Copies of this chain bind each other. A is one copy, B any other.
Amino acid sequence: MKKIIECVPNISTSDPRTVELILEEIKKTINAFLLDYTFDDYYNRLVVSFVGNKESVLEASLNAAFKALELIDMRKHKGQHPRIGAVDVVPFIPIKNVTMENCIELARKFGETLAEKCSVPVYLYGDAATKPERKDLDWIRKGEYEKLAEMMIKSERKPDFGPAIFNPKAGATVTGARKLMAGFNVNLGTADLKVAKKIAKALHAKKGGFSNVKAMAASIPEKNITQIGMSISDFEKTPIYRVFELLKVEAARYNVPIIDSEFCGMTPLKALIDIAAYYVKIGNLTEDRVLEIAVQNAIEKGKGESNS
């Protein structure tokens, strides 16, 4: 496969049977490959990552969304993560030999089809946004599902596709195109959500933190701890080591230990390289000097040359 797009649907469920049926729609699509999925009760949210070419990614994302809309009822949904609908956010991300324009086109097709077939209001965000303020997912999601009915009345919140009519079961869907970003969660050794929120605030772009970082605090009651959940939209400009070091500084202020961390979804290699390069002072490390990538590149190049 020469052209590769990633799609990362964020869906408002943590019911294992619902998750299974949604994933099945992706798995059964030819040339679509499931990479990863995570879900948990405290966010009550399923994050799926899969790749494929244009056709397969569109087909799999639509079928997964249809299944989610069939099975999820937003009137019963509770969760710590902001959300506006059952199929909450569906970004398309260029990975290999694909432009951002290709992904914008995919997002538009996805949104148009979903709105038409399921009567769900659809908003375009990120690089697919039709107005500057709609680039920002949080702007679109303001008031969340609970205030969606009243927000939709406002002219500036008119959906890009579908009816401007509240759909109580489905809520609304946000789709778009964006660069690869890193999801990075850090677990704190405190159950005090107030403290976790203060730490998140120090990192969050809109509250004076790093310009490419969104940070939120959540409780993980079964472990009696809290978590700082971050998405870092440009992890080359705002590398993870820098975010982590500031998080350490802020956590130390409240005498809160850092338990561990995790990438949410897939880990971009460049993010790893930047972390390693900083801490052990590697001067010259690029992706093509990582053995596994170099081997792959060499073989692909060899194939191309022997074909020509």
Using a CB-CB cutoff of 8 Å, which residues 74-95 of chain A contact chain B?
A: 95
Count A interface residues, CB 8 Å: 53
CB < 8 Å neighbour of A261 from B244, B261, B263, B281: B281
Residues from chain B with a CB closer than 8 A to the CB of A287 are 292
Contact with B along A88-115 (1 / 0, CB 8 A): 0000000110000000000000000000
- Given A275-B275, A276-B275, A293-B292, are A33 and B299 neighbors across the interface (CB < 8 Å)? yes
CB < 8 Å neighbour of A266 from B241, B282, B289, B299: B289
Residues from chain B with a CB closer than 8 A to the CB of A280 are 240-241, 244, 261, 275
At the interface, is chain A mostly helix, strand, loop or mixed? mixed
Q: Does A132 contact B (CB under 8 A)?
A: no
Q: Does A31 contact B (CB under 8 A)?
A: yes
Contact with B along A280-308 (1 / 0, CB 8 A): 11111101011111111011011000100
Residues from chain B with a CB closer than 8 A to the CB of A1 are 299
Q: Does A51 contact B (CB under 8 A)?
A: yes
